Amino acid sequence: MSQAKKAKTGGTKVAVVTTTIYVPKCLDDYFANAVTYGHSDTLFVVTGDTKTPAEAKSFCAEASARHGVNCVFMDVEDQKAYMSKVHFFFCYPICISCVCSTLSLTRTYHGVASSDEM
């Protein structure tokens, strides 16, 4: 982030978090828009569902690479692995995608935006 942009925004980090049961082709336009308007440092987090086709993960990887943005796709197994690190997962009947998305966004605001750490 440029110094001028940091001064203007206060250094705020931005993440777009969504869940999908389809191949999220609309993200291609979101990625392009982010780059066009100087927000290529935006983190995109996509959490899949049991109905989400397997090709959604490769689509996100290819589209984000094409546009030069960071997109983390978490299928159900990724979400379970991520949530196993947070010990309250099996205590409550909750939506895995909702919690993973919320935790990913929270971690992003605290400076953990690497897909390797999610």
Picking from 10-14, 46-50, 65-69, 104-108, which range would have the lowest pLDDT averaged per residue?
A: 104-108
Q: pLDDT band at residue 108, thresholds of 50, 70 and 90?
A: very low
**70-105: per-residue pLDDT in tens?**
999 999 999 888 887 776 545 544 455 555 555 554
Angle (nearest 5°) at CA 54 between 74 and 52: 70
How far CA 84 is from CA of 21, 33, 65, 100, in Å, comes to 22, 34, 29, 11
Better-predicted residue by pLDDT, 114 or 68: 68
Q: What are the extents of the domains in the chain?
A: 3-112
Exposed / middle / buried, residue 49 (Cβ in 10 Å: 0-12, 13-18, 19+): middle
Mean pLDDT computed over 104-111: 47
pTM over 0.75: no
| Cβ pair 47, 19 in contact under 8 A | yes
pLDDT at 29: 96
- pLDDT band with cut points at 50, 70 and 90 for residue 2: low
Can you spell out the DSSP letters for 58-102?
HHHHHHHHHHT-EEEEE-HHHHHHHHHTSTTGGGS---HHHHHHH
- Nearest-CA neighbor of 25 among 51, 46, 41? 46
Which residue bears the tokens 């605290």?
Answer: 110
Interval 15-59: pLDDT, tens: 999 999 999 999 999 999 999 999 999 999 999 999 999 999 999
